[in-house]
Chains A and B, each alone.
Chain A
Amino acid sequence: MSAKILTGVHYMLGDHACAEGAIAAGCRFFAGYPITPSTEIAEWISLRFPKFGGVFIQMEDELASMAAIIGASCGGLKSMTATSGPGMSLMLENIGLAVMLEVPCVIVNVQRGAPSTGLPTLVGQGDIMQAKWGSHGDYEIVAYAPASCQEMFDLTIQAFNTAEIYRIPVIILTDEAVGHLREKVVIPDESEIEIVNRKKPNVSPEGYLPYLPDEDLVPRMALAGEGYFVHMTGLTHDERGYPNITAEAHERLVRRLLDKIQKNKDKIIKYEEVQTDDAEILLISYGITARSSLKAVQLLRKEGIKAGLFRLITIWPFPYEKIEELSRKVSLIVVPEINSGQVRGEVLKALKSDLSVLGVNKLGGDLITPQEIVEKIKEFLKIRV
């Protein structure tokens, strides 16, 4: 293909940066259903894909979109869909299928105020738990939370690579504010972008077991049409991919699906620390709210209060151990988020002490301002004193 990614410096919408990141990552199939505030991803893809030989298809609903990207990935195309809360709810059954079949794909959830139709054009961060627990059964998921347009580009590439490495669906769990933000995005030369592809079988079709994992717990993936005659089923299956609904087979399969993420979590988990070295108050935040939290840290520091920021880049797997370690050095943890306290609950799970974890929460579809965080902290400290 003669088409090129947009190497250079751009002033770019977050959703567009995500779409361009997908193109740079090698994504060549997008199936989606329009939903605010994610539609600009589909629009950008529909404009750009034909030039790359990629296929954009607007499906009849989100259930179809999710099924289609799994099918396309089984045929070897790197595949993605983008949606928001209500659409995500519809995709969950087939996200479970992607987990069970071990098919790499990427799902973008540009979060808005919820539940139900909620606040279509306004920001929310209430799908944190849904991303991890939304589909039925036990499974592990990887979800990234970009906080800038640059990260919309970078983490989308990362999401595709992670999906390919572990043969999993990866979620980009962003929010309306980041999706609709317009800011500087630097797109490197194509040659500087690291692309990872799924492992292919290294044995003949006769000796190939589609679900026999390597040491890293990830099986090698044969594509449709390569003569391996794979059978993939959402039923509990053995190493041949054949249904086996015994307790032993289920334990073996589901344990491996959990372990391939849990045992590799140190390689997967990403975060950013700002002035945590000497911090007495630790802010833990993500997505657009992490930017308010960063400003709040600066405001608090100006007043002589030693605050620091721990920014989650992966929401899942959750960095429990790291947070526990940081908690030992601080006297207060503050978790600002645009929901009623979903990540705060995970932080509480991480702690071994009874350290206070103050939630700064908002449900109205508005951003949390730095001042609001500072005020909430001051108020809390006064009460404590």
Chain B
Amino acid sequence: MEVQVKKEVKHRLSRWIREERWPHIWCSGCGLGIAMSSMLYAFEELNLDPKEIAIVSGIGCTGRVAGYVKVDSYHTTHGRPIPFAIGLKIAKPEMKVIVFSGDGDIIAIGGNHFIHAARRNFDLICICVNNFNYGMTGGQFGPTTPYKAKTTTTPYGNFEYPFNLPYLAASAGATFVARWTCLHAYHLRQSIKKALQRKGFSFIEIISPCPTGFGRPNKIGEGLDEMKYYKEKSIIKNGIDPKDAELSLMGGNIVVGEFVDINKPSYLEILMENNERIRREEK
């Protein structure tokens, strides 16, 4: 009798994953897998040492990313991954500290920290997965929910105006600003790679399907249907003024691209310079 030995095939990214935590908790059709793997491909392609990376998340579906990636990872309180990451980065300036969290976390409850980190041009990579609702809590609306969209707390349609995140980030002082959808996995990976190799505050918004919390009530359909929408309606416009970066899931266009990439001394660069000057003058 012939004995068949099944050879275990390891995924190219397996060294970046805490495999013992599989399966993950995300719904089918969710964009978080693409968002996370785009980041991991960026690590892999830059041949980074896992020791030089830390991921900080807040609460919610996106917040779970920290727990799945095999680097030093911190799953903190709702809205506070940015200030947590600021402390961590100051303690470990040689590490690449990534904040990977959701729109509710970074823009609603953590909105104040977001604008101030951007203002400081603090050396962080801030990746915000925007699925237009509070997925894990049951699909309530948030500050990125489109006008008229239905959620569990806007049953008659949302009547608040949403933020345009790249515009917000850029006007607050972010020096690298990009937006991609989960369909643009290749572009997204390139932007993350760029962010990993620069100083200052980098902000990347990832538009992601949430078929359970957002797609269903708004009749967008399954995750794949939302991806089809991205395919039809997204336009790449690199370098445009982010205020013109239109974003619509209700029939309009989704403008994606790298909108801002400027050079300005970062927080840590200025801090180090100041501290050195003070110590020099002391002598």
Contact = CB atoms under 8 A, between A and B. Distances in A.
Interface of A: 1-3, 29, 31, 50-51, 53, 55, 57, 59-61, 63-65, 67-77, 79, 93-94, 97, 101, 223-235, 242-243
Interface hub of B79, B83, B86, B112 (most chain A Cβ within 10 A)? B83
A57 B75 contact: no
Q: Is the interface of A mostly helix, strand, loop or mixed?
A: mixed
B94 A225 contact: yes
A64 B88 contact: no
Contact of A225 (B51, B77, B84, B275): B51
Contacts of A1: 279
Interface of B: 18, 20-21, 50-52, 54, 56, 66-67, 70-77, 79-92, 94-95, 112-113, 116, 271, 274-275, 278-279, 282-283
B78 to A, nearest CB: 8
B70 A71 contact: no
A73 B88 CA distance: 7
Q: Is the interface of B mostly helix, strand, loop or mixed?
A: helix
Contacts of B77: 67, 93-94, 97, 234
Given A60-B112, A233-B67, A74 B91 contact: yes
Contacts of A229: 50, 70-73
Contacts of B18: 231, 242
A228 B70 CA distance: 10
A243 B68 CA distance: 11
Interface hub of A63, A64, A71, A231 (most chain B Cβ within 10 A)? A71
Nearest to A59: B83
A228 B72 contact: yes
B76 A234 contact: yes
A164 to B, nearest CB: 15
A226 B79 CA distance: 27
A71 B275 contact: no
B167 to A, nearest CB: 20
Contacts of A224: 54, 72, 88, 91-92, 95
Contact of B52 (A61, A225, A243): A225
A212 to B, nearest CB: 16
